[in-house]
Structure 1
């Protein structure tokens, strides 16, 4: 799909690009976990007004990778809401206190995925999306992050020094097509510091963005969330199983 041309990261896309980002998200998670569009709508429709996306695009406007974040609003964070339901049925208020989380300074990394068969700069799609996440954290002064992550993906991230702590009381369980997913959290500054010590090479790529050759990373200010005056009318398509 992509050529050797420059790829670009885009935060909080609108209109056609937003629709294409949601389509990429839906395609990736249908392939990975068998989630149908109706299932995605049922799961994420209630959180759509709090959702914001990151897209990785090529010069033709194709979206090669997508990430959905859920901001702290009165709608709540889906990962915490789901942790309170089966299969975990946690006392989330107690788990949040034990984890030292402030829900109003915590964002939910709801989905992250890339299309298959990418070549050239596209091979760095996953690293680019994670670097964009770091930039969003910095630009919006996000203290902590939560997610429900597939254990296979969690192991891959751990090998790159990107570890998450299990939400107190949780354990791996079946969730939205994943054979084993776990609610996790991480305080962002601590995570960056740990990765710098345990895996300096990965820290340069994922956290500092050094080595993302052929991928345009916008200035930090472009990763700052700005509330829009109009609500996008597009349908919400996503899945909260994992990254």
Structure 2
């Protein structure tokens, strides 16, 4: 990725990744992040998505949301999150959704880039229950350059923002897709719980397939998770074709946002496609 201003210090603060912010710390960081990016975001949007480098203190807003959601859903507390993601913190980028009316975060999507530590989903897929060799995955999906892969490390949305066509997950997927175009990313990998994966594929038409035909299994507190793969150039045409299906018609407004980018100016990226 291009070099970025990571805002590694806020005042006298020394940054370290944290998953357990206090209410006051969460509020302060969220308000500061909004203030910094406000000029880029039209005032009429209540929910905005902001891309944040994983080395920035603002990224702890995203980590806090991850922990809150995963602890409630799968029992993953701050210590477990630190243990699981510690090797990947410096190569993480967070797309953070914020509710401007309440000045609180509403959701987050984390991507992990390749490094000396590899990609978390591929590393984890090499172990039980998936037992998938890295070389096999690369051959199966014709991957030749690991720098062209993004790992969706997490998608976490707070309960009040999960339902309806305005669900922030749509905004987060769109933000990730636009950023992937900027950085010439061709391949997406992830390990996803069964329930959100079904929603992503069946209703939004996001074309995830089993990673090298690997069957699902239990993973980090989830009883049934899937190791998945997506080819980025297929995302837009597949989702566009999905609009005309019965399930696509049920969420047509959400698909307009995802496919046509009808609310792209509610998203603040580090760089824009074509910029």
TM-score tier (shorter): 0.7 to 0.9
Counting only pairs closer than 5 Å after superposition, residues 1-243 of structure 1 correspond to structure 2 as 6-12=46-52, 15-59=56-100, 61-101=103-143, 102-118=145-161, 123-159=166-202, 160-199=204-243, 201=252, 203-210=255-262, 212=263, 216-218=266-268, 221=271
Matched-pair contact (CA < 8 Å) for 2:52–2:58 = no
Larger radius of gyration: 2
Cα distance 1:12–1:121, how it changes in 2: closer, same or farther (>3 A)?
farther
Matched-pair contact (CA < 8 Å) for 1:134–1:207 = no
> What whole-Å deviation, never above 9, does each CA across 1:28-82 have from its counterpart, x for those lacking one?
1111211111111111101111111111113354211111110122221111111
Please give the alpha-carbon distance, in whole angstroms, between the structure 1 residues aligned to 2:169 and 2:114: 24
TM-score computed with the length of structure 1 as normaliser: 0.81
Please give the alpha-carbon distance, in whole angstroms, between the structure 1 residues aligned to 2:255 and 2:167: 14
TM-aligned CA deviation for residue 137 of structure 1 = 1.1
Matched-pair contact (CA < 8 Å) for 1:90–1:169 = no
> What whole-Å deviation, never above 9, does each CA across 1:213-238 have from its counterpart, x for those lacking one?
9x8223672589xxxxxxxxxxxxxx
Cα distance 1:69–1:219, how it changes in 2: closer, same or farther (>3 A)?
closer
Cα distance 1:103–1:114, how it changes in 2: closer, same or farther (>3 A)?
same
Match of residue 235 from structure 1: none
TM-aligned CA deviation for residue 132 of structure 1 = 0.8
Query: What stretches of structure 1 of length at least 5 have no aligned partner?
Result: 225-243
TM-aligned CA deviation for residue 145 of structure 1 = 0.4
Give the CA RMSD over aligned residues.
2.8
Matched-pair contact (CA < 8 Å) for 1:20–1:62 = no
> What whole-Å deviation, never above 9, does each CA across 1:159-192 have from its counterpart, x for those lacking one?
2211311111411100001111111111101122
Cα distance 1:168–1:190, how it changes in 2: closer, same or farther (>3 A)?
same
TM-score computed with the length of structure 2 as normaliser: 0.72
Please give the alpha-carbon distance, in whole angstroms, between the structure 2 residues aligned to 1:118 and 1:185: 26
Please give the alpha-carbon distance, in whole angstroms, between the structure 1 residues aligned to 2:195 and 2:162: 23
3-state SS of paired residue (1:74): coil
TM-aligned CA deviation for residue 209 of structure 1 = 2.3
Query: What stretches of structure 2 of length at least 5 have no aligned partner?
Result: 1-26, 28-43, 245-251
Please give the alpha-carbon distance, in whole angstroms, between the structure 1 residues aligned to 2:62 and 2:273: 16
TM-aligned CA deviation for residue 111 of structure 1 = 0.4
